[in-house]
Amino acid sequence: MSPDHELRTRLAGGLLALLASLPLQACADTAEIMIRDYKYQPAELTVPVGTTVKWINDEKRVSHSILFTGPDGFESERIFPGESWERHFDRPGSYPFSCGPHPEMHGVITVSE
């Protein structure tokens, strides 16, 4: 085996090992919103079509929900501390949301093509 071929083989093996060590989330079409201090963080998020958004309740004692307004509006079940809820977005548009029990909490998901 030539030294050049051996070097390319070792580099390719190192690259494969590096890719295998990356967390799956780095390749997933999932975005996260933390619920902390009675706020959605981030409150505004832009994602491409096909993304799943995951809301995670990082509060210590308070439950929240995700309430979508508009013609196709609905409310998620209550999310208790340490729990999460997900929604898949398959159409472009603007999706404003708030918290059912805490209407002062609000945010918006913008889905782009």
Give residue-wise pLDDT tens across range 31-49: 999 999 999 999 999 999 9
Q: Residue 41 pairs with which residues in a beta bridge?
A: 34
pLDDT at 72: 78
Distance of alpha carbon 103 from alpha carbon 59, whole angstroms: 17
pLDDT at 28: 56
* Cα→Cα distances 20→11, 24, 28, 84, Å: 14, 9, 14, 27
Q: Nearest CA to 53 among 71, 31, 38, 72? A: 31
pLDDT at 5: 52
Report pTM: 0.74
| All domains of the chain in start order, with CATH | 24-112 (2.60.40.420)
Considering only residues 71 and 22, tell me which one the structure prediction assigns the higher pLDDT.
Answer: 71
Give residue-wise pLDDT tens across range 41-82: 999 999 999 999 999 999 999 999 999 987 778 999 999 999
Q: Is 78 exposed, middle or buried (0-12, 13-18, 19+ CB in 10 A)?
A: middle
Within 10 Å of residue 77's Cβ, how many Cβ atoms?
A: 11
Taking 70 as the threshold, does the pLDDT of residue 90 lie above it? yes
Taking 70 as the threshold, does the pLDDT of residue 86 lie above it? yes
> Would you say 89 and 70 are in contact if contact means Cβ atoms under 8 Å apart?
no
Mean pLDDT of the chain: 84
pLDDT at 51: 97
Which bin fits 68, alpha (ψ -120 to 50), beta or left (φ > 0)? beta
